[in-house]
């Protein structure tokens, strides 16, 4: 199992959709967030639309913080052939959630600030200016920590990273590109060829050829059945 599959297992095995309730680096402003979220305005009541407009009028993270969030999410879940966290609009979702659920804002901001502090002390650079190898080395320490060697600051960063990982994974795998990667098809019509033969044999049953021709002929699957006045299938 590679890192990406491992992350999928961690997130979907532990948080499901609960986190919603509670590469490339680019800036994302409030207009971009509003434009992204307005795609889902169908079915919204007027009070919900008014509440959304109130959230869109606010700005939670600065442009530099959004760039940092984008870079962090991109390290947690790198792009692949299906898309990226940018394609999935994960930074926009995190911005929206932090405004919608204020309890997210403070820990995320504190974690971003402390992250830069750690990297300045260790590499004399901000996080975003360091190499991917340096970033991954640090994330591995707080993603898979040894509790015996954690101080209070490190413990806070472990909790912060858990929030960021959960938001990243939830945002990506509930987006169009993430759903495509999962291979989820939803309710789609399939071809039914009747009860499998081994099951029929188990109960000493078999189909009559006449009914097979009428009911399990896939060339007629789009035809509308016609019944006579006595309830007999005639087509």
Q: Are residues 123 and 172 in the same domain?
A: yes
Tokens of 87: 């394609």
Structural domain for 229, as ranges: 189-235
pLDDT for the residue numbered 190:
72
pLDDT one-digit tens code per residue, 22-52: 333 334 444 554 555 555 555 678 888 888 8
Tell whether 178 and 195 lie within a shared domain. Answer: no
In this predicted structure, the answer to whether residue 16 has a pLDDT above a threshold of 70 is no
Looking at the structure, tell me whether residues 137 and 36 fall in a common domain. Answer: yes
Question: Do 7 and 40 belong to one domain?
Answer: yes
Same structural domain for residues 118 and 158?
Answer: yes
The position carrying tokens 């060829």 is 193
Is 119 in the same domain as 166? yes
**Which residues neighbour 19 within 8 Å (Cβ) at sequence distance 6 or greater?**
166, 167, 170
Say whether both 132 and 207 belong to one domain. no
Report the C-alpha gap between 56 and 50 in whole angstroms: 10
Number of domains in the chain: 2
Q: Which of 182, 201, 223 is the last residue of a domain?
A: 182
Specify whether 67 is located in the same domain as 42: yes
- Which comes out higher in pLDDT, residue 162 or 11? 162
If asked whether residues 127 and 209 sit together in one domain, one would say no
Same-domain check for residues 175 and 231: no
Tell me: the pLDDT tens digits for 110-132?
A: 999 999 999 999 999 999 999 99
**pLDDT of 219 strictly over 80:** no
Alpha-carbon distance of 201 to 205, in angstroms, equals: 6
Q: Which pLDDT score is estimated for 28?
A: 45
Same domain, 85 and 123: yes
Q: Decide which of 182, 202, 219 is a domain's last residue.
A: 182
> Could you tell me the pTM of the whole model?
0.64
Instruction: Examine the domain organization and report whether 225 and 135 are in the same domain.
Output: no
Chosen domain end from 182, 197, 217: 182
């Amino acid at each position: 199992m590679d890192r990406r599959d491992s992350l999928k297992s961690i997130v979907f095995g532990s948080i499901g959709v609960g986190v919603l309730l509670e590469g490339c680096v680019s800036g994302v402003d409030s207009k971009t967030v509003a434009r992204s979220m307005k795609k889902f305005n169908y079915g919204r009541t007027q009070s919900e639309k008014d509440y959304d407009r109130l959230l869109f009028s606010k700005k939670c993270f600065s442009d530099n913080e959004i760039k940092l969030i984008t870079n962090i999410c991109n390290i947690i879940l790198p792009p692949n052939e299906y898309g990226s966290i940018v394609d999935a609009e994960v930074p926009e979702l995190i911005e929206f959630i932090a405004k919608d659920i204020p309890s997210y804002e403070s820990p995320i901001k504190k974690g971003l600030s402390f992250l830069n502090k750690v990297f300045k002390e260790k590499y004399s650079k901000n996080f975003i200016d360091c190499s991917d190898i340096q970033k991954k080395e640090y994330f591995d320490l707080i993603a898979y920590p040894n509790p015996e060697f954690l101080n209070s600051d490190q413990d806070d960063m472990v909790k912060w990273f858990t929030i960021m990982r959960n938001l990243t994974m939830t945002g990506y795998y509930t987006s169009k590109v993430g759903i495509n990667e999962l291979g989820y098809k939803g309710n789609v019509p399939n071809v039914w060829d009747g009860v499998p033969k081994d099951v029929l044999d188990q109960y000493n049953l078999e189909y009559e050829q006449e009914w097979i021709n009428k009911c399990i002929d896939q060339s007629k699957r789009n035809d509308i059945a016609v019944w006579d006045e006595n309830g007999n299938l005639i087509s």
